[in-house]
């Protein structure tokens, strides 16, 4: 069981917007602004999409945005495209002795 | 260019040890830390630990605390991860990933990833 809770799957049609949630506790997501989001296509290494809750690395489309409210972080993808179909993972720093925790991952299907 | 290149596939027997390397290039090695993350077949990402390339400081996940050692060699810009007492459930793809946290603690925004090293544990 992962420390951060994500929905197993979400789906949307091209052009729509979707949001993936990542729920933790006050010891991780709620307590620090060190939440990141990663995209992973099959057979590929993960790619950083959002860091520090809402910052986009250079080169990442502005269709990707992040936010946080309390113990839940969210990744929103607007204007869905076929290439967005992938697995998405959140992670966070945690004050527990484990230091870094990942969510279980969310499979995004573009219909 | 900016990259992390990992060592090749490993096949080990239960109870053995494995040591995976990760060579950094294209940036100042000692200005960042390195995380090790693994992914079992069909499963999600699991954080194993972090090492500072600046001072060698390490932080390990509780689950691996007794079996893992991470080290750095600044002369070759390499980081190593050794996992001991291997079990079948250690079969996974092991990634190294760069971290902005460079001295005391990880700051888990992993912006550069290695290609992954497959470790298979089987009798």
What integer pLDDT is reported at residue B86 of this predicted model? 98
Cα–Cα distance for residue pair B112/B106, rounded to 1 Å: 14
What is the band of B100 on the pLDDT scale with cuts at 50, 70, 90?
confident
- Interface touch B108/A38, C-beta < 8 Å: no
Distances (CA, A) of A22 to A53, A56, B8, B118: 11, 17, 33, 28
**Min Cα separation B60/chain A (Å):** 7
- pLDDT band per the 50, 70, 90 thresholds, residue A1: low
Q: Is the pLDDT of residue A3 over 90?
A: no
Work out the minimum CA distance from A34 to partner chain B, whole angstroms: 7
Contacts of B19 (CB under 8 A, 6+ apart): B80, B81, B82
Query: What is the percentage of chain A residues whose pLDDT exceeds 90?
Result: 95
Residue B120: pLDDT band with limits 50, 70, 90: very high
Max intra-chain CA distance, chain A: 42
Phi, psi of B33 (to 5 degrees): -105, 175
Encode pLDDT of B34-75 as tens digits: 999 999 999 999 999 999 999 999 999 999 999 999 999 999
pLDDT at res. A57: 96
Look up residue A36 and give its two tokens: 């990141």
Distances in whole angstroms, Cα of residue B67 to Cα of each of A96, B2, B48 = 19, 30, 11
pLDDT band at A98 (very low <50, low <70, confident <90, very high): confident
Identify the pLDDT of residue A2: 64
Residue among A57, A97, A102 whose CB faces B45 most closely: A102
Please state the rounded mean pLDDT for residues A82-96.
96
B98: nearest CA partner in chain A: A48
């Amino acid at each position: 069981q992962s420390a951060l809770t994500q929905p197993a799957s979400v789906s949307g049609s091209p052009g729509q917007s979707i949001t993936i949630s990542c729920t933790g506790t006050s010891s991780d997501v709620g307590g620090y602004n060190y939440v990141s989001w990663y995209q992973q296509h099959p057979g590929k290494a993960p790619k950083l999409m959002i860091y520090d809750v809402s910052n986009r690395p250079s080169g990442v489309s502005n269709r990707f945005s992040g936010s946080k409210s309390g113990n839940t972080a969210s990744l929103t993808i607007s204007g869905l495209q076929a290439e967005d179909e992938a697995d998405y993972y959140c992670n966070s720093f945690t004050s527990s002795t484990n230091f870094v925790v990942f969510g279980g991952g969310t499979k995004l299907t573009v219909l | 260019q900016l990259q992390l290149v990992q060592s090749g596939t490993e096949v080990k027997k239960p109870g053995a040890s494995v040591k995976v390397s990760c060579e950094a290039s294209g940036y100042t090695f000692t200005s960042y830390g390195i995380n090790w993350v693994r992914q079992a077949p069909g499963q999600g990402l699991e954080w194993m630990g972090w090492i500072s390339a600046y001072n060698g400081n390490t932080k390990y996940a509780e689950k691996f605390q007794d079996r893992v050692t991470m080290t750095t060699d600044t002369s070759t810009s390499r980081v190593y991860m050794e996992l001991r007492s291997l079990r079948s459930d250690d079969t996974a793809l092991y990634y190294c990933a760069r971290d902005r946290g460079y001295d005391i603690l990880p700051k888990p925004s992993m912006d550069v990833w290695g290609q992954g090293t497959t470790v298979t544990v089987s009798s």
